[in-house]
């Protein structure tokens, strides 16, 4: 038997594939379009491993997906393929609608056709795990309870709206066709192989390069920070024992404001790779104009996952952050490899409007 992972060369996807093969002998078919955030260098550690079969392709290519499902007798699909950066969704929403909505629809249809042709035992054992985000729940007030699985959807960005739409499609394919689906909504991931447009790797990269550390608005936007390998362990557990048709939130109860994340990264860098002038990297913090419609706070209640499936995160924010900084310091070649000219143009476009600290 084999699992199919879509988006398996991206940040979360590559971590999942590496972690899966470290935990299991079951082969992985890895389907990834290799857009800007997909990187085969993430998978260099399993190059030549016969358990890993990489295919460059689009989840929207139903014919290709169907061939892969049949050829490899796939028993589960984990859909991690997505456009996932809010800033990019604001600048160009069309790609998010195409991948996250239309792509998910076409993937579901290919999987439904394959699933419908399986024998009864394999049909019952089959699973489609759709990986989504806490951003579909919208922004929370400072004193509000964390979002549980019954929280109403209130997406506020093109990215979160596209993911909300994909969640609804997955739900509908279960309710209408009986496809045995599972949906997970995770909080902000961080860790190895994170593309340096996201906050933590951007701060590490810019700090070491002597560049400003851009912080939107007043920096008090709060997120629940989930170490990526904790996310991977949760996905394995949901795939193993989750109830078809159910949604499971994945979070770590580590709610931290963006400015505090930046200062925490600076503190670890001050310790592990001090600036030559002896100053803290925090001196490089630069507050920039807030992005449109910036949600103030996300937080998820992962109690259902703990109660029903016995999962809890292994890392606190402090321990996961240190591991992340150590990884980036040890993998400078990887960082240089992904920071192409196109990436630098993107950063300049979206973080150039600096202003004084509020």
Q: Cα-flanking dihedrals φ and ψ of residue 214, to 5°?
A: -75, 130
Q: What is the mean pLDDT of residues 234-251?
A: 98
| DSSP annotation of 277 | T
| The token pair that represents 227 in the structure block | 């170490």
| DSSP annotation of 144 | S
Q: Give the CATH number of the domain where residue 59 resides.
A: 3.40.50.720
Q: What is the mean pLDDT of residues 110-119?
A: 98
**Residue 346 within any structural domain of the chain:** no
Give dist(CA 331, CA 115) in Å, integer.
Answer: 41
**Residue 36 within any structural domain of the chain:** yes
Tens of pLDDT, residue by residue over 184-237, are 999 999 999 998 888 999 999 999 999 999 999 999 999 999 999 999 999 999
**Residue 222 within any structural domain of the chain:** no
Inter-residue contact 31 to 68 (CB < 8 Å): yes
pLDDT of residue 49: 97
What's the burial of 244, exposed, middle or buried (CB within 10 Å: 0-12/13-18/19+)?
middle
**Residue 163 within any structural domain of the chain:** yes
**Residue 223 within any structural domain of the chain:** no
Domain with 39 in it: 2-190+228-252+295-314
Confidence check: pLDDT of 355 > 80? no
**Residue 138 within any structural domain of the chain:** yes
What's the burial of 355, exposed, middle or buried (CB within 10 Å: 0-12/13-18/19+)?
exposed
Average pLDDT over the chain, rounded to an integer: 94
**Residue 111 within any structural domain of the chain:** yes
Structural domains in the chain (count): 1
C-alpha torsion angle, residues 332, 35, 157, 16 (rounded to 10): -60
Inter-residue contact 275 to 213 (CB < 8 Å): no
Tens of pLDDT, residue by residue over 40-64, are 999 999 999 999 999 999 999 999 9
**Residue 300 within any structural domain of the chain:** yes
Residues labelled as active-site residues = 134-135, 159
- Which of 154-163, 286-295, 333-342, 344-353 has the largest mean confidence? 154-163
Give dist(CA 18, CA 317) in Å, integer.
Answer: 22
| Residue 358 pLDDT class (50, 70, 90 cuts) | very low
| Residue 356 pLDDT class (50, 70, 90 cuts) | very low
Confidence check: pLDDT of 354 > 80? no
Residue in this structure with the two tokens 């759709």, named with its chain if needed: 130
Tens of pLDDT, residue by residue over 266-320, are 999 999 999 999 999 999 999 999 988 899 999 999 999 999 999 999 999 999 9
Tens of pLDDT, residue by residue over 134-148, are 999 999 999 999 999
**77 pairs with which residues across the strands?**
4, 128
Strand bridging mode 181-186 / 213-216: unpaired
Give dist(CA 112, CA 180) in Å, integer.
Answer: 10
């Amino acid at each position: 038997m084999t699992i199919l992972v879509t988006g398996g060369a991206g940040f979360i996807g590559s971590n999942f594939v590496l972690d899966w093969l470290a935990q299991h002998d079951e082969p992985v078919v890895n389907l990834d379009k290799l857009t800007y955030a997909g990187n085969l260098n993430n998978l260099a550690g399993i190059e030549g491993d016969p358990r890993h079969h990489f295919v460059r392709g689009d989840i929207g290519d139903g014919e290709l997906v169907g061939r892969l499902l049949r050829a490899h007798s796939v028993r589960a699909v984990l859909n991690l393929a997505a456009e996932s950066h809010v800033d990019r969704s604001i600048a160009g929403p069309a790609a998010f609608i195409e991948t996250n909505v239309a792509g998910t629809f076409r993937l579901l249809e290919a999987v439904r056709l394959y699933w419908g042709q399986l024998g009864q035992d394999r049909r019952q054992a089959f699973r489609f795990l759709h990986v989504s985000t806490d951003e579909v729940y919208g922004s929370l007030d400072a004193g509000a309870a964390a979002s549980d699985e019954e929280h109403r959807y209130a997406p506020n960005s093109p990215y979160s709206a596209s993911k909300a739409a994909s969640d609804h499609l997955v739900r509908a394919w279960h309710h209408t066709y009986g496809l045995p689906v599972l949906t997970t909504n995770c909080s902000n991931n961080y860790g190895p192989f994170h593309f340096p447009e996201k906050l933590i790797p951007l701060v590490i990269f810019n700090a070491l390069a002597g560049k400003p550390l851009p912080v939107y608005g007043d920096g008090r936007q709060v997120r629940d920070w989930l170490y990526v390998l904790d996310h991977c362990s949760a996905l394995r557990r949901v795939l193993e024992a989750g109830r078809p048709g159910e949604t499971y939130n994945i979070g770590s109860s580590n709610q931290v404001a963006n400015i505090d994340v930046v200062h925490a990264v600076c503190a670890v860098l001050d310790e592990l790779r001090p600036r030559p002038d002896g100053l803290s990297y925090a001196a490089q913090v630069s507050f920039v104009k807030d992005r449109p419609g910036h949600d103030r706070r996300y937080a998820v209640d992962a109690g259902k996952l703990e109660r029903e499936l016995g999962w809890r995160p292994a890392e606190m924010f402090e321990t996961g952050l240190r591991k992340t900084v150590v990884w980036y310091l040890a993998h400078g070649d990887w960082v240089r490899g992904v920071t192409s000219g196109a990436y630098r143009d993107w950063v300049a476009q979206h973080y150039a409007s600096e202003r004084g600290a509020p």
